Amino acid sequence: MLPFQTPLCQRLGIAHPIFGFSHEPDVVVAIAQAGGFPVLGLARDAPQDIPAIVRDVEARLAGLPYGIDLMLPAQVPEQADPQSLQAALPPAHVAFVAGLRERFAIPPPGKPSFFTAHARSEALFQAQIDAVLNSKACAVATAIGLRAELIAEAKRRGKLTFSLIGSVRHARKALDMGVEVLVAQGYDAGGHTGTVGTMSLLPQIVELAQNTPVLAAGGIATGAQILGCICSGAQGAWLGTLWMAAQENHTPPALLDRLIASNSEDTIISRAHSGKPCRVLRSDWIDAWNEAGAPPPLGMPHQQALTGDVFASIHEHNNARLIYEAAGQSVFGIRERTTVAAQMDLLVAQMDRAWDRMAGWAQQPA
């Protein structure tokens, strides 16, 4: 086994410098069991469900370390529910989406989901924050927004604070607020992103952060890339897209087929999902928002109030033509249905091979 226990790995007590973000508890448990550091995304969970989700994950982890991630943008309403937001949506947008529902014959979703029952608001965020602070997670990560009170309170409770940042400006803000680990997430990443690619962002953040540990995120799907990030000064890599290929993710079959068939060019940045720029896998639904005559997507949380039922429906009905999800340029690494354990083994073996290759080159006579 390679000596790739960076200081952050040692601090967290993990075997490999691999940090795995997922909304799916089964993936989180499997990443921890395979020696990585899992981060459970709770941004898509209703506050009332979070305590049970967290209790279940903690019981299955049996003391293995894990983190929780929340997405906390500023400028959302104090209180919001989908119905009241829907009542105030611009009529032209409502008509456009009604036209798409008809054109693509999208049925209403049959089951309740976060995307139809909830709207992002300060009240929702506060409930999510309370549940996270009360958890046994040893780390708290936040994305899109920074909350000084959350960072201070998480630290007071002994949790390590992480922040996903996409620019030098954001990184500076996070450091000023006392964040302890920066996740330099490049434009290549699945989900909400900035405009700078991981390869260019990482060295700038490493230089700025000095003694604060930095992780690299975005576009990473191989062990050689992880090693490359460590060579650039990162203490590990943070992966999101890759786990969607694992059976533990319970990815709808149509989405998994599309992920397997997709290359990096099949992901694009779109505001059609959440209202904020988000890298997603293309589908006819996403493309419809780029057609001539389509209105610009609304902001967050209004775009979700407008289209949340469609997202829920196309996932529930496994709609091969329309289904999409956040996905990074790292989708090139998804080539078959697999398991988290197999993915972790492969990443570690690839790190090993890349190390041997480098060592071989380093020994070549000039």
Ligand X SMILES: Cc1cc2nc3c(=O)[nH]c(=O)nc-3n(C[C@H](O)[C@H](O)[C@H](O)COP(=O)(O)O)c2cc1C
Instruction: Note whether 154 binds ligand X by CB under 6 A.
Output: no
Instruction: Note whether 43 binds ligand X by CB under 6 A.
Output: yes
Sheet with 191-192, strands from edge to edge, namely 191-192, 278-281, 267-270
The least distance separating ligand X from the CB of residue 183, rounded to whole angstroms, comes to 7
* 267 vs 190: CA distance, rounded Å: 8
Q: How many angstroms separate the first and last alpha carbons of the chain?
A: 29
Residue closest to ligand X, measured at CB: 240
- Residue closer to ligand X by CB (options 34, 93) is 34
The least distance separating ligand X from the CB of residue 164, rounded to whole angstroms, comes to 5
The least distance separating ligand X from the CB of residue 238, rounded to whole angstroms, comes to 6
Q: Which of 4, 8, 14, 21 binds ligand X (CB under 6 A)?
A: 21
Q: Are 354 and 347 in contact (CB under 8 A)?
A: no
Instruction: Note whether 297 binds ligand X by CB under 6 A.
Output: no
Assigned token pair, 294: 């389509």
Binding mask 225-244 for ligand X (x = CB under 6 A): -------------xxxx---
Instruction: Note whether 164 binds ligand X by CB under 6 A.
Output: yes
Binding mask 174-193 for ligand X (x = CB under 6 A): -----------x--xxxx--
Region near ligand X per CB under 6 A, out of 96-104, 155-163, 216-224, 302-310 = 216-224
Contact set with ligand X (CB under 6 A): 21, 41, 43, 69, 71, 143, 164, 185, 188-191, 217-220, 238-241, 325-328, 330
